[in-house]
Structure 1
Amino acid sequence: MGFELSVVAAIFFLTAMVLGSFSYSMLTTSNEIVSDASEEQYKIQNAKLKTNIEVEDAIAGNYSGTYNLTVTLSNIGSESVYFDELNVLVDGNLEPYTYSDIAATWTPAETRNLTIAGLSGTGTHRVKVVTRNGVSAYSSYTV
């Protein structure tokens, strides 16, 4: 009976050691994943805080059923923005745009123009420009 008790105790001890080592490795891996995600979240929030744009002007071209809208934007933040990754909405509709600048990187204190072609409708409209990290600027214009 003493030998059987010793074997059972040894099996329980080995099982506890194996489970403990698995638990430790899983907790360590989970902690690393959470730490990496927290660092990435900090980087995203920091970039968002440093990003700021302003719509200086929105000018509609000559109206003949459709018109082109030229929007003048300034990067007034301290973070560079990728000009080709902007989302432009006119009256809530996502619109494709073109820009004439060669470089897609839009540095701070720089002003750029973009053009939205083929818009229609008269009256007052609203244009919204959104960067890839969610910072936006609004303006209204009249056709």
Structure 2
Amino acid sequence: MGFEVSVVVTIFFISAVIVGTLSYTILTTSSDIAADASAEQHQMQSKRLNTDLEIDNSVAGVFNGTYDLTVTMTNTGSETLRFDDLNVLIDGSLKEYSFSDTAVTWVPEETRNLTVSNLTGTGTHRVKVVTENGIADYGTYVV
């Protein structure tokens, strides 16, 4: 009976060591993932705080059933943005746009133009431009 108790105690001890080792590994991995996520969140918040843009002008082309809208904007923040990652909304609808500049990077204090083609409707319209960081500016124009 003494030998059987020793074997059971040894099995429990080995099981406890294995469970403890696995628990430590899992907790360490979880802690590393949480730390990485926190650092990434801080970086995203910093980019958002340093991002700003201003719509300088919105000009609609000649109306012949449809028109083209040219929007002139300035990157007034301190963050370099990707000009091809902007979202342009006209009266709340997401629209495709084109730009003639060859560089897709948009550095601070640089003014750029984009063109939205084949728009319809007359009257006053609202344009919204949203950066990759979620920062937006609004403007209005009349057709």
Q: Name the TM-score class by shorter chain.
A: over 0.9
The aligned residue for residue 24 of structure 2 is 24
Residue identity (%): 56
Segments of 5+ residues of structure 2 without an aligned counterpart are: none
Q: Give, as a single letter, the amino acid of the residue that structure 1 aligns with 2:23.
A: S
Q: Match of 1:113?
A: 113
1-10 or 110-119: which moved more? 1-10
Between the aligned partners of 1:105 and 1:17, the Cα distance in structure 2 is 55
TM-score by length of 1: 0.97
Matches within 5 A, 1:1-143: 1-143=1-143
Aligned-pair distance for 1:109? 0.5
Aligned length: 143
State the 1:2 CA deviation: 2.0
Q: Give the RMSD, CA atoms, in angstroms.
A: 0.8
Aligned counterparts of 1:67 and 1:119: Cα–Cα separation in 2: 5
Deviation of 1:127 (Å): 0.3
Secondary structure of 2:89's match?
A: strand
In 2: Cα distance, 1:6 partner to 1:66 partner: 89
Amino acid at match of 1:119: L
User: 1 CA distance for matches of 2:5 and 2:137?
Assistant: 75
Q: Secondary structure of the equivalent of 1:100?
A: coil
SS in 2 for 1:101: coil
Query: Which structure 1 residue ranges, 5 or more long, are not aligned?
Result: none
> TM-score, normalised on structure 2?
0.97
1:14-37 Cα deviation digits (max 9, x unpaired)? 110010001001111111111111
Give the letter for the 1:59 counterpart: V
* Cα displacement (A) at 1:41: 1.3
Query: Residue 41 of structure 2 aligns to a residue in which SS?
Result: helix
Deviations 1:98-138 (A, max 9, x none): 11111110000111111111111001100000111111110
Which amino acid counterpart does residue 102 of structure 2 have in structure 1?
I
Whole-Å separation in 2 of the counterparts to 1:102 and 1:4: 80
